Amino acid sequence: MSSDIAMVDAHVHFWDPTKHYYPWLCDKPLIPFRYGDYSAICRPYYPADYFVDAGDHNVVKFVYLETEWDPRDPIGEMDFVAALRRDTGFPNVAIAQAWLDRDDVAEVLESHAARDFVRGVRQKPRSSPSPKGRKPGSMSDPRWREGFARLRPLGLQFDLQTPWWHLDEAAELAHDFPDTQIVLLHTGLPADRSPEGIAGWKAAMNALARCPNVAVKISGIGIPGVPWTVENNRDIVLSTIDAFGVDRSMFASNFPVDGVCGDLNTIFSGYKTITADFSLEDRRKLFHDNAIRIYRIDG
């Protein structure tokens, strides 16, 4: 099943902490991380490394996601991506870093929008660490929303990474900016696999899925200290597709980050196993066509 279908990896990172500054990869001690110890990925990772990891899987195009590069220089990361594209032909498109509540937001967004390969931006909004005692995050902040309002006029979309207990705020954001494409990252972060946690996650996902301008990326569903398996993730994958439908869902690797939880063959083969009973047309949408359309990738 590895090479049976052309794939777009809708969420991949390339980086080189030996040449550039990424606080979370370069600073010591390493920061607390949802997957635990991630020291194994604090090394250069380029397209050639990815293709070794991908093996026989027929990955034909990439969406690059900002890598939490030096926040003082979000434009510099896109210079790095431009050089990668020139030297390797990859990635095809990119989601850049931007801080929507900073004074330089207009300058940064205009610079990103001027590059023909940039499709949007990501900033992880401020969030509460758990559903208990949750406080409003960035998505409810007027200054942050002023920055968000700049996206659509520049032709930019937004990749949203936030825990599921903030998806009600995401739904309000999507409702208030119906012409801005939002892509929810990492399946809404269903880290709590307790019955209560899964029930809360499903309710939040179903509510957000009612917003037609929101799509979802099925990725980032590893469990700390537990090998990535179909058994652990089948319900997460199928519940997400049930909520958003096959036209607004897409698969992605989150590599090399998810390499902390499983090798790329295990993760991609797992997605293919879980969707083995889907029609060929639906599988093409999930693995390729939706990413081509939503990220406006040529070809």
40 within domain boundaries: yes
pLDDT band for 133, please (50, 70, 90 cuts).
confident
115 within domain boundaries: yes
DSSP class of residue 96 equals E
1 within domain boundaries: no
Distance of alpha carbon 260 from alpha carbon 231, whole angstroms: 18
**Least confident range of 21-25, 134-138, 174-178:** 134-138
261 within domain boundaries: yes
268 within domain boundaries: yes
Distance of alpha carbon 91 from alpha carbon 189, whole angstroms: 25
299 within domain boundaries: no
2 within domain boundaries: no
Q: Do residues 157 and 182 touch, judged by C-beta distance below 8 A?
A: yes
Phi/psi at 95 (5° precision): -110, 120
Region 141-158: mean pLDDT is 98
Domain that holds residue 251: 7-294
Number of domains in the chain: 1
Per-residue pLDDT at 169 exceeds 60: yes
Tell me the per-residue pLDDT of 170-183, one tens digit each, with 9 for 90 and over. 999 999 999 999 99
Per-residue pLDDT at 2? 52
Tell me the per-residue pLDDT of 279-295, one tens digit each, with 9 for 90 and over. 999 999 999 999 999 99
Tell me the per-residue pLDDT of 202-235, one tens digit each, with 9 for 90 and over. 999 999 999 999 999 999 999 999 999 999 999 9
60 within domain boundaries: yes
Q: Return the CATH number at 122.
A: 3.20.20.140
